[in-house]
Structure 1
Amino acid sequence: MVIFSVTKFEEGAWIVVVITPIMLWVITKISKHYDSVGKQLKFDLTEPIPSTDTVIIIPVAGINKVIVSPISYAKSLTTNVVAFYVAFSPEDAKKMEERWDEWNPGVRLVVVTSRYRTLIKPLIEFIERIDHHYKHQKKLTVLLPEFITHKWWHRLLHNQSSFRIRTLLLNRKDVVVSTVPFHLKD
């Protein structure tokens, strides 16, 4: 077999000599992955489901119809609901607080002023402060309001902040990220 592999290498034996071991290695890795996932997902039916209290954070960009549904949904799940707003100036912060108090949805508003007009960093810092405050005793959920558009190219115009927030938070084990859709008509 060695002599055959060497003499016929250029005529196609390289496929058997090179590709077959690589395929066997890949198949073995895939099998080990599935075994590992199976072990991690195995559940003992006698184990009780742990109950944890939840804090829900809703990033808001202002007061509009898009945030009504997430706030209503969050309030149906827990009383620990916080709306999080990033203002770009102290005047903007004051105006939002006044409008929020006038509307009064029964949810606490936290306003942070971002000097550099960034949304993500203040939200991540706020999540870390809440997580540190509760010392991992409560589950954190970030509920993202999101537009659902009818035309594919409209999606490029909306939800970019939500996409970035979701991308950053999905890798964190201590945060659940969920979306509440708002369907636009056109």
Structure 2
Amino acid sequence: MAVLFVMMKTVRVHYRRSESALAVAEDAELIQPAYNHAIVLVSHVNQPTMFALGYAELIRPDRITALSVASDDLEIRRLKAEWERHRINVPLTVLESPYREITRPVLDYLHRLRHRYPHDAVTIVIPEFVVQHWWQQLLHNQSALRLKTRLHFEPGVVVASVPYQLRPHDALARPPR
């Protein structure tokens, strides 16, 4: 009973401290970063990537960069060739990670950018495809989920998941302009 009491008291203190930290002062102003850098994570040139690039342009950041992590030179050359073949007008940065580790290279790149521009915001745009059945989701996007979880703890970073619904024989319909 005593342990339960201490736990509940600790939870109550946590909620009070959180409420105090989140409160807005009477003379508060909007918090606005100097600039917004959008980084679109890219693994392949595919429909989800194109949709995420379009979304990144839609939010009108000051700078857009596509960022990919590749494990070898052949993979890097293939991605760059696809990028050029599709004439994508966003600069592509490819980081090499020989052990197929994605999170650490992305975080290192992000830390360098935040160090260079400490008063700017960074929006990480993560393309994700959504499959038809829940069990199919277990087969995809696990690295994106781990990366998103880690990015939520980075100051000055906004994580935007851009879902692309994957349906057989179904193209992304463009709205009329």
For Structure 1 versus Structure 2, the TM-score category normalised by the shorter chain is 0.7 to 0.9
Query: Identity over the aligned pairs, expressed in percent?
Result: 26
Cα RMSD, aligned residues only:
1.8
> Whose helix fraction is larger, Structure 1's or Structure 2's?
1
Dislocated runs of 4+, deviation >4 Å: none
What is residue 175 of structure 2 aligned with on the other side? none
Normalising by structure 1, report the TM-score.
0.80
* Distance verdict in 2 for CA 1:114–1:28, change over 3 Å: closer
Q: Does 1:185 align with 2:171?
A: no
Matched, 1:174 2:148: no
Higher relative contact order (Cα pairs below 8 Å, separated by 6+ residues):
2
1:58 deviates by 1.4
Aligned partner of 2:146 in structure 1 is 164
Which residue of structure 1 lines up, in the alignment, with residue 38 of structure 2?
56
Equivalenced residues, count: 166
| CA distance in 1 between partners of 2:166 and 2:26 (Å) | 43
In structure 2, how many angstroms separate the alpha carbons of the residues matched to 1:171 and 1:128? 12
Q: Residues 1-186 of structure 1: matches in 2 within 5 Å? A: 19=1, 21-52=2-33, 53-77=35-59, 78-134=61-117, 136-185=118-167
Structure 1 distance, partners of 2:45, 2:115, is: 29
TM-score, structure 2 length as denominator?
Answer: 0.84
Structure 1 residues 34 and 120, CA gap change in structure 2 (3 angstroms): closer
> Match of 2:49, SS?
helix
Q: Is the 8 A contact 2:120 2:156 kept in 1?
A: no
- What's the CA shift for 1:175? 2.1
Post-superposition offset of 1:45? 4.9
The 1:24/1:137 distance shift into structure 2, 3 A limit, reads same
- 1:25–1:184: structure 2 CA closer, same or farther, 3 Å change rule? same
- Structure 1 gaps, min length 5: 1-18
Q: Which moved more, 1:75-84 or 1:57-66?
A: 75-84
1:49 alignment partner AA: L
